[in-house]
Amino acid sequence: MISRFLLLLAIVSFSYGDKLTDIKATDMIHIGVKYDFKPFGFFDKRGRLVGFDIDLARFIASKLGVTPSFKQVTSSSRIPRLLSEDIDIIVASMTHKISRDKEIDFSISYFFDGQSILVRQDEVGTTAKEFANRKVGAIKGSTAGPNFKKLVPESRMVYFSEYPQALRALKRGNIEAITTDFTWCNVQANDSNETLKVVGGLLSYEPYGIGVPQNESKLRDAINFALIELVKEGVYAELYEKWFGKKPKRFPTIWPK
Ligand code: GLU
């Protein structure tokens, strides 16, 4: 009888334990990352998963003292997969929006971007308004589609599940533009042999945050403290230069001791 009671107690306390304790107990953290969003999460020429988000996620895992296990997420799958506990955190170019806060929690912001427009080199339009009544590609679940539609209500949005599909459509001439964060657009333009370019300036504010489950304050604190360490140890600036080729103008907030 007593042993049954102890077993029940063990099960109950395990399932009601906080997420950080669970992660430490299993020695592993399951991290949702992008596989197709260069330079945040992508495969290099040798087939290794690399990028700013990947390095950041590795740093956080090492500060927590656990092994990272990376799982691919897309812009539309990342929040549902966190909610279903298939992943423990999201490090996937995700903008911290107040509307997203209804479902999940966020770390402090770790990267600051804004939305732009990627077009073919021969495009004459230079502003968002010039894409009225034209086909503009966006990725399902990203902030960019709804933002753009609000800005240019006459635009004809075409939604794709993943970024490579949208890029192929743009190159083939099936759509006139892709709208998403500037940094991704800029990398595509640089990698395109001068066949693509970025226009439109910055159309929105996109501060990236790490997604954590709701009401897991210990886990969120541990991630925030790891991000603060990242800045204090100089690793943030190092990684920034490694992946973006320049020094950061803005750093994540550091809280005093
Ligand atoms: N940062 C934007 C977002 O969270 C666009 C990039 C992405 O699709 O992940 O929606």
Q: Is 206 in the pocket of ligand 1 (CB under 6 A)?
A: yes
The residue whose CB lies within 8 Å of the most ligand 1 atoms, and thus the one to mutate among 139, 148, 167, 202, is 139
Q: What phi and psi, each to the nearest 5 degrees, are found at residue 222?
A: -60, -40
Percentage of the chain exceeding pLDDT 90:
93
The model carries a pTM of: 0.93
Number of helices followed by number of strands (H, E) in the chain: 9, 15
Place of tokens 């102890």: 6
Longest CA–CA separation in the chain, Å? 79
Q: Is 228 in the pocket of ligand 1 (CB under 6 A)?
A: no
> What domains lie within the chain, and their CATH numbers?
18-112+207-244 (3.40.190.10), 115-204 (3.40.190.10)
* Residue 31 token pair: 């991290």
Q: Is 55 in the pocket of ligand 1 (CB under 6 A)?
A: no
Provide the mean pLDDT of the chain: 95
Q: Would the pLDDT of 5 be above 70? A: no
Q: Is 143 in the pocket of ligand 1 (CB under 6 A)?
A: yes
pLDDT digits (tens, 9 = 90+) for 200-251: 999 999 999 999 999 999 999 999 999 999 999 999 999 999 999 999 999 9
Return the exposure string of 110-149: e unless at least 16 CB atoms fall within 10 Å of the residue's CB, then b: bbbbbbbbbbeeebebeebebbeeebbbbbebbbbbebbb
Q: Would the pLDDT of 3 be above 80? A: no
C-alpha to C-alpha distance for 79 and 72, rounded to whole angstroms: 12
The residue whose CB lies within 8 Å of the most ligand 1 atoms, and thus the one to mutate among 93, 104, 106, 162, is 93
pLDDT at 239: 98
pLDDT digits (tens, 9 = 90+) for 89-109: 999 999 999 999 999 999 999
Q: Is 139 in the pocket of ligand 1 (CB under 6 A)?
A: yes
Residue ID of nearest Cα to ligand 1 atom 8: 142
The residue whose CB lies within 8 Å of the most ligand 1 atoms, and thus the one to mutate among 142, 179, 188, is 142
Is the previous residue joined to 39 through a cis bond, with omega within 30 degrees of 0? yes
Place of tokens 């991704």: 184
